Chains A and B, each alone.
Chain A
Amino acid sequence: MTSPLRSFLPLALMLAALAGCRPPAESAGEAERSAANRLEGRLLLSGSSTVAPLVSEIAARFEAMHPGVRIDIQTGGSGKGIADVRAAQADIGMTSRPLKEDEQDLVAHRLATDGVALIVQASNPIPELTRQQVIDIYTGAIDDWSRLGGAALPIQVVHKAEGRATLEVFLAHFEIDNTAIRPDVIVGENAQAILAVAGSPGAIGYVSIGSAETEARLGAAIRLLPLDGIPATSDEVAAERFPMSRSLNLVVTSEPSPLALAFIDYARSEAVHDLVREAYFVPSTR
């Protein structure tokens, strides 16, 4: 009859969510390899929950290389990261935005860039949408492609669930209040948004450029729309030309500890570019 496992699904989900907060930092093997440049001590990182998952992956690798190093990561938003670094509560702050003018006492090291692109189904002939057209589509003022020069086809607005980083970038770029949006479908992951758009001729959505490029290369029936005339590609994001993007930074005081600097150097090196791309961010090109 009913599988008893099924009743544990909510629990399993909770455990998974808890486990996801902090992947186990220890990793055996290859530990003694770099005994030559021995680093020891503790690092505390604090700040953006967008940056934290990537940084904890990088930290796990760093800890495996330097067994004497222990890295703790706390989240609470970019603002908390800045405040903690200033108050010496954290060694490194994580921010998902550049430093503001009144934060110039700190130094930001760009870790990666998060670019978000609008996507439509590959069959959709629309070449590009203006800023106002995107706002009208997402707030329900325009609900048919025929009003934008396309075929008579209702627009299906694919939106993200609250808390997602791509949602924040999208809302901030178009300056829309989330409560004003009239979605037809709400998804969580980028992959789900891509599936939804690929399967519906009238759909429009927005996803991390890294994930859209990967899926499109693998044959997903989607097309990335240019924004303000700039094509939605990782190269444009890395070159800081693509408008709907934000920088992910590691922030330190003007006198950081050698350990903090060593970690930042590592986090910005090519050795972790695979982790950056797996998180669908674009590595910073120096």
Chain B
Amino acid sequence: MTWFGKRISFRRLADRAIEFASTLAALTAAAIVLLILAFITIEAWPALRDPGPARFVTDRTWFPLSGQFGLLPMLTASVLTTIGAVLLAAPPGIASALWVRYWAPPSLAWFHRRAIAILAGTPSVVFGQWGLVVLAPLIAAWGGSGQSLLTAVIVLALMTLPTIALASDAALGSIDDELVRGGAALGLGRWGIASRVVLPAARSSLLAGILLAAARAVGETMAVLMVAGNVPNFPESLLAPVRTLTANMALEMGYASASHRSILFVSGLLLMVAVAIPYLLATIARPRSDHG
């Protein structure tokens, strides 16, 4: 009751209400993640007991209906496609951010930012369709069916490029202006400022952006499903087909019976871990000071 006695103004009350609502929303969001994790773990539990975690590693291949439960080929595929896509997308992504900040005329920069944002918002099915109809036949000319690790990497790189470009743009924008002016005062040209002042200063923010893009790439499903070929083997070359963890779940979930379903939830669990790792790394990479 002392609460009212203190003559709290309406503004203070509104503050409290907003604080309460946002706390509730934040807790709900966190609770949803935990609920999902709990749900997946419960669903995966039968498979974790029988056949047990060892079989997911020791079995060479994935034929769940014939008692072969090897998840390693698909984990490998998820990791390879992600690393490949990020390696391919990071240089042009960062270059695009540098250009837009330090070289582009303002009108062109505005247009470029909008174009990148649209690319970032393009649904993955569209990328998948383009990959299947346009890219795959081109790659098939080098051998194989055209649905391959390489095709998946290229399509994923295109999808992660805007994420990296936008994150890098923000990272460069958060650099202290005095650093840039200081560089100019020392007589550095634009290239000198970009390469010797801006890039080193923004290094960890850039890395954080790349890791966020990697997390997105690991979780991408539809586009990869359409262009990767989905054969659950270790790839012998860039032109060999691969099946990622996400594609595996999407392909088989709707048609799986009890025990098969449970094992698919194990791959879901594995996937959540695989997505969490880059996010955690991104948190570590992001320094205390250069965002604020």
Contacts and interface: CB of A to CB of B under 8 A. Distances in A.
Interface of A: 1-3, 6-7, 9-11, 13-14, 17, 20, 49, 75-77, 154, 156, 158-159, 161-164, 177-179, 183-188, 192, 195-196, 199-200, 203
A185 B63 contact: no
A186 B230 contact: yes
Interface stretch (B12-20, B75-83, B96-104, B254-262): B254-262
Given A2-B215, A199-B136, A178 B255 contact: no
B216 A2 contact: yes
B230 A184 contact: no
Interface in B150-168: 163, 166-167
B146 interface: yes
A178 B63 contact: yes
Interface residues of B, number: 54
Given A3-B121, A9-B221, A164-B255, A185 B145 contact: yes
Contacts of B256: 163
B147 A196 contact: yes
A49 B260 CA distance: 14
Interface string B207-248: 001001101100111000110011110000000010100100
A76 B257 contact: yes
Instruction: Name the prevailing secondary structure of the B interface residues.
Output: helix
A170 to B, nearest CB: 14
Contact of B250 (A3, A11, A13, A203): A13
Interface of B: 36, 61, 63-66, 68, 120-121, 132-133, 136-137, 140, 143-147, 163, 166-167, 170, 209, 212-213, 215-216, 219-221, 225-226, 229-232, 241, 243, 246, 249-257, 260, 268, 271-272, 275
Contact of A178 (B65, B133, B145, B146): B65
A186 B229 contact: yes
25 contacts: A3-B120, A6-B216, A10-B219, A10-B249, A10-B271, A14-B268, A17-B254, A154-B143, A161-B252, A161-B255, A162-B65, A163-B252, A163-B260, A179-B66, A183-B231, A183-B241, A184-B145, A184-B147, A184-B229, A185-B147, A188-B225, A199-B132, A199-B146, A200-B140, A200-B146
A9 B64 CA distance: 24
A260 B27 CA distance: 50
A7 B230 CA distance: 22
Contacts of A11: 36
Nearest to B67: A179
A184 B140 CA distance: 12
Nearest to B68: A179
A185 B231 contact: yes
Contacts of A9: 219, 221
A209 B111 CA distance: 49
Contacts of A199: 132-133, 136-137, 146
